[in-house]
Amino acid sequence: MLTLVLADCDMKVKPGAIHDENSQPELVHFSLMLANDSKLGEKRELKTIVHTRYGKIFRFEADVEIPEKLEDFKQLLVDTVKGNPPKGVTYETGLKLMDVLDLELGEKIVMSPGGERTNPFEFFKRSKDYVVVIGGFRKVDFISPVYEWADKSISISSNLKKTWSVAAEVIVAYRGCSLE
């Protein structure tokens, strides 16, 4: 099982709307569409956790249909915060990311340009479970202490990649890795 964590997402979700001023919900939206539409999602071998910089946690099971339009996705998040989530989506607030991650089973990996340069196709093994943390932001680093939490920090590039590019690399590598 692969648990994909989009951490420290810069997304202000309130019961009335998403605060668009500094929010970047498109990073989360596209990454979730990619994840849930993947073969891992189809086979229910994937779940995704979205953590915002503002203490909100959204959990998406693999069979949740992510709306294609960004505005519809934003409405899904707003409805979830209001207490009306679609089936397969749960929401919590006031939790620290580390408390949530400690409940997840699997080897704990942080994807970071500063991590050990690794070919993800050679790293993952299907016989193991992984919790893989990817930054849900554009140009900064994690504000949560994920490096201290992780068993390993790995990199697929020395350059900062977009959230969805890293998610795609991880999903494809895990799906295509050895069953050993």
Q: What is the DSSP string of 108-124?
A: EEEEEEEEEE--HHHH-
Whether the pLDDT of residue 169 is over 80: the answer is: yes
Whether the pLDDT of residue 175 is over 60: the answer is: yes
Q: Where are the domains of the chain?
A: 2-176
Q: Which two tokens stand for residue 156?
A: 């697929």
Are 61 and 88 within 8 A, CB to CB? yes
Average pLDDT of span 79-92: 93
pLDDT band at 100 (very low <50, low <70, confident <90, very high): confident
Whether the pLDDT of residue 72 is over 90: the answer is: yes
Question: What residue has token string 């992984």?
Answer: 130
Could you please state the CATH topology (level 3) that the domain comprising 2-176 is classified under. Alpha/beta knot (3.40.1280)
Whether the pLDDT of residue 131 is over 90: the answer is: yes
Q: Are strands 46-52 and 56-61 parallel, antiparallel or unpaired?
A: antiparallel
Average pLDDT of span 150-172: 88
Q: Where are the alpha helices (DSSP H) in the chain?
A: 25-36, 39-42, 70-81, 97-101, 120-123, 146-149, 163-176
Q: Could you tell me the pTM of the whole model?
A: 0.89
